[in-house]
Amino acid sequence: MDQQPTRLYERLVVITGASSGIGLEAIKLLQLPEYGGCRLVLACRDEAKTNTVIASLSRPATFIHLDLAVLASIQQFYQAFCAQFGTDAVVDTLILNAGYADFNNKQLQVTNDGHEQTFQVNFLSHMLLTQLLLSHLENSKAGRVVFVSSSLHDPDERGRIKAGESTIETSSYADGAKAGVPNIQIDDVEQLRAAQFSGRLAYCNSKLAGMLYLYQLQRTLGSAGSKVKCHALSPGFIPATGLTRHASFLGRAFLTVCLDCLCKPFLNITRTPAEGGLALAKLAVEDVPAPAPMPDHVRRHLKGVEPAGAGYYRLRKDNSGLDAITSSDASYSLKLATAVWEHVEQCRSELGW
DSSP line for 242-258: GGGTTS-HHHHHIIIII
Question: Quick one: which of 9, 284, 287 has its CA closest to 147?
Answer: 284
d(C-alpha 232, C-alpha 211), whole Å: 7
Q: What does the pLDDT look like over 170-226, one tens digit per residue?
A: 688 776 667 778 888 888 999 999 889 999 999 999 999 999 999 999 999 999 999
Residue 156 confidence (pLDDT):
82
Residue 278 confidence (pLDDT):
98
Q: Does 247 score more than 70 pLDDT? A: no
Torsion, Cα of 348, 138, 95, 114 (10° steps):
0
Residue 171 confidence (pLDDT):
81
Residue with more model confidence, 263 or 281? 281
pLDDT averaged over every residue in the chain: 89
Residue with more model confidence, 252 or 120? 120
Q: Has this prediction a pTM greater than 0.85? A: yes
- DSSP state, 307? -
d(C-alpha 342, C-alpha 123), whole Å: 14
Q: Does 227 score more than 80 pLDDT? A: yes
Residue ranges in 45-119 assigned as alpha helix (H) = 47-56, 71-85, 117-119
Residue 172 confidence (pLDDT):
81
Contact status, residue 101 vs residue 154, Cβ threshold 8 Å: no
